[in-house]
């Protein structure tokens, strides 16, 4: 049985007009729960609530708006480098598959590795969504999709003995690159 560890959700944060928009997205192992773990729309005077929602969490910015001083996040996610890291893990696993294929007397089926799409790509959103919520929700959906793709990759990886040394016997959370 594989070991499951808790991974705090990331906070997608936006500051639009006089509001902070926050979405929590679970990037950990697939626990058959929603990855969209919570959503808040706060007034700019609710900095204490924003602080509580972001403390020791990694933050992804939906837009380049300023955040108040005094927040204590775990770090700020570099989305480009996070996607590059996830893609490089798949390339490495595919290389290991190719190497392993050479050591067995029969033909193996190459795993159908999931695509790691950038979370900032356009998302299909409800047409009734208020315009000021679009950037944060779109990025939250993108991170959800990236975490789902990563979980599929990890499920493929941990079921192949030759890939266990590449990452360990348990599914890992989406590898975040922070700045």
- The residue segments making up the domain with residue 35 are 10-163
Q: What is the pLDDT of residue 69?
A: 81
**100-104: average pLDDT:** 96
Task: For residue 88, tell me if it sits in a domain.
Answer: yes
pLDDT in tens, 12-62: 999 998 999 999 999 987 666 789 999 999 999 999 999 999 999 999 998
- The span from the CA of 21 to the CA of 13, in Å, is 6
Task: For residue 24, tell me if it sits in a domain.
Answer: yes
Task: For residue 175, tell me if it sits in a domain.
Answer: no
pTM of the shown model: 0.91
Task: For residue 174, tell me if it sits in a domain.
Answer: no
Task: For residue 178, tell me if it sits in a domain.
Answer: no
Q: What are the beta bridge partners of residue 40?
A: 22
Residues 6+ apart with CB under 8 A from 150: 27, 86, 114, 116, 173, 174, 175
Task: For residue 59, tell me if it sits in a domain.
Answer: yes
Task: For residue 5, tell me if it sits in a domain.
Answer: no
Structural domain total, the chain: 1
Number of neighbours of residue 132 by Cβ within 10 angstroms = 13
Q: What is the pLDDT of residue 1?
A: 38
Confidence of residue 2 (pLDDT cuts 50, 70, 90): very low
In the block, tokens 């016997």 appear at 169
Residues 6+ apart with CB under 8 A from 167: 89, 154, 157, 158
Task: For residue 171, tell me if it sits in a domain.
Answer: no
Q: Is the dihedral of CA 69, 71, 74, 80 positive or negative?
A: negative
- Asked whether 128 and 12 are in contact (CB, 8 A), the reply is no
């Amino acid at each position: 049985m594989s070991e499951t560890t808790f991974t705090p959700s990331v906070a997608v944060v936006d500051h639009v007009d006089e509001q902070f928009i926050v979405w929590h997205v679970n990037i950990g192992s697939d626990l058959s729960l929603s990855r969209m773990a919570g959503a808040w729309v706060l007034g700019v005077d609710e900095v204490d609530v924003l602080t509580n929602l972001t403390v020791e969490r990694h933050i992804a910015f939906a837009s380049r708006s300023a955040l108040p001083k005094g927040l204590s996040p775990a770090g700020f996610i570099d989305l480009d480098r996070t996607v590059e890291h996830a893609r490089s893990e798949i390339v490495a696993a595919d290389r290991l598959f190719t190497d392993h294929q050479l050591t067995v007397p029969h033909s193996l089926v190459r795993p159908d590795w999931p695509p790691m799409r950038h979370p900032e790509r356009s998302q299909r959103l409800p047409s009734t969504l208020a315009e000021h919520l679009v950037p944060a929700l779109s990025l939250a959906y993108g991170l959800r999709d990236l975490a789902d793709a990563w979980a599929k990759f990890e499920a493929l990886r941990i079921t192949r003995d030759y890939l266990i040394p590449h990452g360990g016997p348990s599914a890992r959370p989406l590898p975040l690159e922070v700045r």
